[in-house]
Amino acid sequence: MAGVLLSRTEKVFIIDGVKDEYRSDGRSTIDYRPMELETNVVSHASGSARLRLANTDILVGIKTEIDVPKPDKPALGKIDFFVDCSANATPEFEGRGGEQLANSISNMMQRAYQSPQAFDLKQLCIFEGKQCWKLYVDILILECGGNLCDAVSLAVKAALFNTKIPFVKAALMDGGNIDLQLSDDPYDSKLLDVGSAPLLVTLCKIGNKCVVDPTAEEEKCSSVSLIVGVTGNRKYYSDDDTEELPAFQPKCSAISMHGPGSITTTTLRNAINQGIIAAVCLDEALGKTVVRERRDIEKFKRHSYGFLK
Amino acid sequence: MTEHVSIRLASERVNHCVSSSNDTPRFYTPGEVISGMQDFMRGHGTYVEEDCLKSSVAGVMQKVNKLICVRPLKSRYVGEIGDVVVGRVLEVQQKRWKVETNSRLDSVLQLSSVNLPGGELRRRSAEDEQMMRKHLKEGDLISAEVQSVFTDGSLSLHTRSLKYGKLAQGVLVKVFPSLIKRRKNHFHNLPCGVSMIIGNNGFIWISPKPQGMMVDGNEDEIINYEMQPVDSTDREIIARLKNCIAALVASKMMLDDTSIMFAFEESLKYEEVKELLDPEAMLDIAFLTQHRLNNIMEE
């Protein structure tokens, strides 16, 4: 995505490596690089998260606002994604340079979150047909090291998990208008149910194989990449293990292809399966991490790290 | 089929520091007062404000008699004549190539400072100028030596020796230039069976050892030879070296062939190369390497 130059021989080296299922840092085609996550990094946002995957650095902040629901969907809230590519990531993003990439990521996120099985917008409803919550998800790309989509979706899910929505204390009906009184107490708030929120998995086709978590160099070698959005499992995000949940089946909520190349039907089918398996593993790892962090906060064990240190 | 995914919290971050607390040098941050201005001389990385000498970069202080300099930990490469660098061709221009070498300005490789293919010495003609892209094109990696430094700090390179020139298959690792230890030799054939070029500019090139030089033979044969797939044992060693360098860099240890080779030997206890991506394993290797380096120093 970002401008990396590679010589022909370096490309041959990477392509042969993928053929042998042995990438230049020793990973096989299905391994992810280690990630680091911190939630609640922006104090004035309702929810926030920062994810670092090797050199890819993503900051997500979520703002809540009261809005009027759409007339055709009176019982649903709204969610809006906005991606900003910081020129710090690469000089190409300066001015309007990153706009195309930003739009493609935000469209992909929007589509993945559209399905009611992926993210339940009913929980954002306040008064049916009158008022609802609107979530503004602001995604800031601070550094590009390949695999932006996966990192963005993980960070967004972590930030949504961390989002607090204030309770409505009282509502005054004045003719057709509703005047809401919100609770001022930051602890008097509800959390969102984000267990089923989708994660995106990018599968980069290099040679005849697909790899997950491509580095920027590997992205340069691939002619086409497939992005699948797969719904998450509520089980990994609930605190108490006793709660009975229905059997979980991962579902694909969005698929898109990027790049000028093409994929045969068998490769496509294999790639989608590989993506779903990867998404389930990612989901489990993310769930464990965010639940662990929440427990640490409850015990006041946590120090804020942020960007300094 | 099992996936390997690990997501850790920022609060569980591994501290990569390996040096003991008594030998860590004093670290200055920008704007920090180094000393009162009494008869000290202002060197690189410092400035004077309100009769105090202050640091303008983040780094360690060096004092030569009365001259105070602050050497930054992270900076762009500042070239010196004779340095070995690894660079990437960005642009083919008239009679010269623009090369990216991690310095503030792009470096220049003149057509007159390369060995022409075939090795014969003759005047560079107009045809050579037209063949420049055939010789080196955009994206190609080269190893070169710094020939001279222009007044604006940009570098002029040359490749007039058989050991310099275009690089074939392998992996480029980028580290900060201040971590590279200056040595007599920056080309290494490691005992583990691969060769490595540690560029002074922080670019490290790891490649399989060339099997006999192909001096004669036409161009097609050479290209064919370059495109042969690398076998899996070499590939594993290259990947391991790459991860070892990353481990040493995370702990901010100086890089040269000794430290890299020590790290490589210590890393052999981890059977799978991808285990070395884990921060704990990285710290472990850096720590063991530091220990071995200290032992050598004492002897």
Q: What is the pLDDT of residues B75-103, one digit of tens each?
A: 899 888 999 999 999 999 888 999 999 99
- State whether A10 and B141 contact (CB < 8 Å): yes
Please count the residues of chain B: 299
The residue among A185 and A302 whose pLDDT is bigger is A185
- State whether B6 and A34 contact (CB < 8 Å): yes
Residue of A7, A29, A39, A162 to mutate for B, most B C-beta atoms under 10 A: A7
**The listed CATH number (3.10.20.30, 3.40.50.970, 3.30.230.70, 1.20.120.330) that belongs to domain A8-299:** 3.30.230.70
In percent, the amount of chain A with pLDDT more than 70 equals 94
Range A3-27 burial, b when 16+ CB lie within 10 A, else e: ebebbebbbbbbbbbbebebbbbbb
pLDDT average, residue stretch A93-103: 85
d(Cα A284, Cα A288) in Å, to the nearest integer?
6
- State whether A281 and B3 contact (CB < 8 Å): yes
For A124, phi then psi, to 5°, come to: -95, 5
pLDDT value at position B10? 78
Using CB atoms within 10 A of its CB, is residue B252 exposed (0-12), middle (13-18) or buried (19+)? middle
Average pLDDT, chain B: 85
Q: What is the ipTM of this complex?
A: 0.86
Domain B84-230 belongs to what topology? OB fold (Dihydrolipoamide Acetyltransferase, E2P) (2.40.50)
Structure tokens at B200: 């002074």
**Using 50, 70 and 90 to split pLDDT, how confident is the model at B107?**
very high
Question: Domain spans of chain A?
Answer: 8-299
Where does B10-20+31-72 sit in CATH, by number? 2.40.50.100
- State whether B139 and A8 contact (CB < 8 Å): yes
B249 to chain A: which residues are within 8 Å by CB?
Answer: none
In terms of CA atoms, which chain B residue is nearest residue A16? Answer: B229
pLDDT value at position B99? 93
Residue of A4, A13, A291 to mutate for B, most B C-beta atoms under 10 A: A13
Q: Sign of torsion, CA A303 A306 B3 B4?
A: negative
**Using 50, 70 and 90 to split pLDDT, how confident is the model at A186?**
confident
d(Cα B31, Cα B274) in Å, to the nearest integer?
41
Please say if the pLDDT value at position A1 is more than 70. Answer: no
Question: Domain spans of chain B?
Answer: 10-20+31-72, 84-230, 234-298
pLDDT value at position B51? 84
pLDDT value at position B145? 93
Same CATH fold, B84-230 and B10-20+31-72? Answer: yes
